[in-house]
Amino acid sequence: MQIVHSNAELAEAVANARAQGKRIGFVPTMGALHDGHLSLVRIAQEQAEFTVVSIFVNPLQFGAGEDFEKYPRTLESDAEKLKTVGADLVYAPSAREIYADESGVIDQSVKQSAGAAGQGFEGAIRPGHFDGMLTVVARLFDLVKPDVAVFGAKDAQQLFLVRQLAERDYPSLAIVKAPIVREPSGLAMSSRNRYLSASEHQTAQSLSRSLRAGEAASRVAGASASSVLAAAQQVMAEVPEAKLDYLALVDQSTFAPVAEDFAGHALLLIAARIGTTRLLDNQEIVIEQPTTSLLGARE
């Protein structure tokens, strides 16, 4: 496995792989890797013969008072983990490599807009976050020039917006969704889980319990958006230590909140703060179209 820090080294390595007829798979990360990240690498390896993993803590997607400075930077241990799964190339650039223009001046202006789909949920709580995320993702796509890029399902709104970006500006790039990897307790793996104390770790498990309760409610005959949300909210109400930012049910195809009579594939989203640590999770659910008899009973 090769580790490079410059754009020139990256371009040379990717060109050599392409010269050998290899497809390029790409996994963008901010480091502090865990088994969830490694699962993305394995999926990229199934899709391509040469896998690039980037490790870059992007300042543009952190707002005032967020954890940019304390975000873990663990390149050495990250590289060891990536060796175990056979990644081909680690690209660990400086901000200068990512954001410098042709004259060498660092330009960290935001160049992408998440639009309406990026204004709610995470976008409302972290203004500008998705614009900064999309700006660095587009820059990485331009540098790596992958055939396929893998993103985790845990950051559902991010994945939705990246897919929009790719459809618009990188139509030949395949975006692959990787399933959420969970701890045995059900807690979604996250680089931020390391900040949780033992008691906070217990509290954090309420997020996945809430989602499971919502999913179970969706399978009940006559289920509706409100019954799914009510089941999930009941779980969170029993854990006041978890400070809920939002719990919402959105249409997977638009990321807009669903109407009460919605039927189809939806995402149940949750975000909460446990102590000083903010966690996200989500669950795919299906609400069946009510039968004629049920519709009649509701009238």
Phi, psi of 157 (to 5 degrees): -70, -40
Name 244's bridge partners.
272
CB burial string 134-151: b at 16+ within 10 A, e below = bbbbbbbbebbbbbbbbb
Q: Is the dihedral of CA 272, 261, 153, 207 positive or negative?
A: positive
Question: H-helix or E-strand containing 95?
Answer: helix 95-99
Which among 5, 34, 37, 265 is annotated as catalytic?
A: 37
Following DSSP, what letter does each residue of 5-42 receive, concatenated? -SHHHHHHHHHHHHHTT--EEEEEE-S---HHHHHHHH
Cα–Cα distance for residue pair 84/80, rounded to 1 Å: 7
Quote the Cα angle for 128-131-137, to 5°: 140
Beta bridge partners of 277: 274
Q: Is 37 a catalytic residue?
A: yes
Cβ within 8 Å of residue 124, ≥6 positions away: none
CA angle, corner 110, sides to 109 and 113, nearest 5? Answer: 160
Identify the residue whose tokens are 């039968």.
Answer: 291
Question: Between the CA of residue 222 and those of 106, 231, 233, 289, what are the distances in Å?
Answer: 56, 14, 19, 8
DSSP 182-240: B-TTSPBP-GGGGG--HHHHHHHHHHHHHHHHHHHHHTSTT--HHHHHHHHHHHHHT-T
As annotated, the active-site residues are 37
